[in-house]
Amino acid sequence: MGGKALIQQVLLVDELEQWVEQYRSKASEGKCASYIPALYRADPNQLGICIIEPTGKMHTAGDWEVPFTMQSISKVISFIAACCYHGIPYVLDRVDVEPTGDAFNSIIRLEMHKPGKPFNPMINAGAITTSSLLPGQTPDHKLRYLYAFFSKITGITPMVNEEVFLSEWENSHRNRALAHYLKDTGYLACEVEEALEVYLTQCSIEVTTEQIALIGLLLALDGFHPLRNEQVLPKDVVRLAKALMLTCGMYDASGKFAANVGLPAKSGVSGGIMTLVPANRKTHSPFQYGCGIGIFGPSIDGCGNSVAGVSLLKHIAQEWDVTIF
Ligand SMILES: NC(=O)CC[C@H](N)C(=O)O
């Protein structure tokens, strides 16, 4: 690495460390998800970030190595996996691509809009439907397909946090209600309990910011894995997933996030945010060739998004001029 590049890298990490410490205190404006008791036990003051560039170079700060469960970030992976298996038209016949402006676990639109097709795969109704579409006759088979898909693209064998899974399974009345409604309207491709088992298990896959930054990087590069020099995901599916992340990925705060940060992103109630910067022509920006970004900060706001994580991303987007707009 040349002297100038080395200095730039040191400055980036210094800046990141400084900003993480600056935004850590934002945690006090939210709290850890309490409807899943195992998530409520997290330390709300944690905040970490990992950024991966196409060269594989990583920039990290704060609590970036702390494992957490993917929760709703997994919705992006299961949607992509279902599209890869069935093709986009088959999946979009069963789940739409419209934002709702409602909470991630809201039921209201299913009955208000006949025939009850879920609005998008980034909210619970749509994600439970997509999980039911994964190939396989049993939850076990569907999950094995998803794990193999996850390993194929990331090179990582997924681990499920059983404690978080059980904690949510025992408290999943609202998701059960959604699944029963979807079964009644014919949108669920398997039995209610089976779809829930797949959906809640995928939410309980444990990752670190590094792993979601890597997935973000693959999305930034339209499915191309720069280190393996291989197209690991189809471009059209990835582009669709990014459009959904931008319009629906931060739930009923997706509009504000697009306005304030301007990057496709997906959050989860455990405090993770997976986002990305596509390659751009901004030669003054440190991420001209694109990057994947993983964030973890378990204190969340009323919409279910990491409070400190969103503030940190807003700051980064402004300082480094990385919006897609
Ligand atoms: N927003 C989220 O991360 C929600 C995921 C969580 N497992 C749920 O279904 O409620």
pLDDT of residue 281: 82
| Structural tokens at position 224 | 């191309």
- Domain range list for the chain: 7-68+207-320, 72-203
Instruction: Give residue-wise pLDDT tens across range 277-310.
Output: 999 888 888 899 999 999 999 999 999 999 999 9
> How many residues can be counted in the chain?
325
Please report which helix (H) or strand (E) contains residue 21, including its range.
helix 3-24
pLDDT of residue 3: 59
In angstroms, what is the span from residue 308 Cα to ligand 1's centroid?
19
Instruction: Give residue-wise pLDDT tens across range 62-89.
Output: 999 999 999 999 999 999 999 999 999 9
In angstroms, what is the span from residue 171 Cα to ligand 1's centroid?
11
Catalytic residue (choose from 187, 204, 251, 261):
251
Exposed e or buried b for every residue in 78-87, given b needs 16+ CB within 10 A?
bbbbbbbebe
Catalytic residue (choose from 20, 23, 26, 72):
72
Burial of 93 (0-12, 13-18, 19+ CB in 10 A): exposed
For residues 152 and 232, is the Cβ–Cβ distance under 8 A?
A: yes
Active site includes 199?
yes
In angstroms, what is the span from residue 35 Cα to ligand 1's centroid?
10
The protein residue with its alpha carbon nearest to ligand 1, atom 10, reads 105
pLDDT of residue 2: 54
The whole-chain average pLDDT of the chain stands at 95
Please report which helix (H) or strand (E) contains residue 230, including its range.
strand 230-231
Active site includes 251?
yes
Which numbered atom of ligand 1 lies nearest the CA of 203?
7
pLDDT of residue 11: 74
Q: Within 6 Å (CB) of ligand 1, which residues are found?
A: 71-72, 104-105, 124, 168, 175, 203, 268-269, 304
Q: What are phi and psi of 261, to 5 degrees?
A: -115, -50
Q: Categorize the per-residue pLDDT at 276 as very low, low, confident or very high, splitting at 50, 70 and 90.
A: very high
d(CA 210, CA 232) in angstroms, rounded, equals 18
Active site includes 145?
no
pLDDT of residue 7: 63
Q: If we measure between CA atoms, which residue out of 39, 40, 61 comes closest to residue 50?
A: 61
Q: Categorize the per-residue pLDDT at 320 as very low, low, confident or very high, splitting at 50, 70 and 90.
A: very high
Superfamily of domain 7-68+207-320: DD-peptidase/beta-lactamase superfamily (3.40.710.10)
Which numbered atom of ligand 1 lies nearest the CA of 267?
3
Q: Categorize the per-residue pLDDT at 148 as very low, low, confident or very high, splitting at 50, 70 and 90.
A: very high
Q: To the nearest whole percent, how much of the chain has pLDDT over 90?
A: 87
Exposed e or buried b for every residue in 139-149, given b needs 16+ CB within 10 A?
beebbebbbeb
Tell me the CB-side half-sphere exposure of residue 70, using CA atoms within 13 A.
Answer: 27
Are 7-68+207-320 and 72-203 equal in CATH topology? yes
Q: Categorize the per-residue pLDDT at 218 as very low, low, confident or very high, splitting at 50, 70 and 90.
A: very high
pLDDT of residue 297: 98
In angstroms, what is the span from residue 267 Cα to ligand 1's centroid?
9
pLDDT above 70 for 1: no
* Domain made up of 72-203: CATH architecture: 3-Layer(aba) Sandwich (3.40)
Q: To the nearest whole percent, how much of the chain has pLDDT over 70?
A: 97
Q: Categorize the per-residue pLDDT at 172 as very low, low, confident or very high, splitting at 50, 70 and 90.
A: very high
Q: Categorize the per-residue pLDDT at 12 as very low, low, confident or very high, splitting at 50, 70 and 90.
A: confident
Active site includes 72?
yes
Distance of CA 67 to the CA centre of its chain: 15
Give the amino acid at 72: S
d(CA 121, CA 248) in angstroms, rounded, equals 9
Residues tagged in the binding site annotation = 72, 124, 168, 175, 199, 251, 269
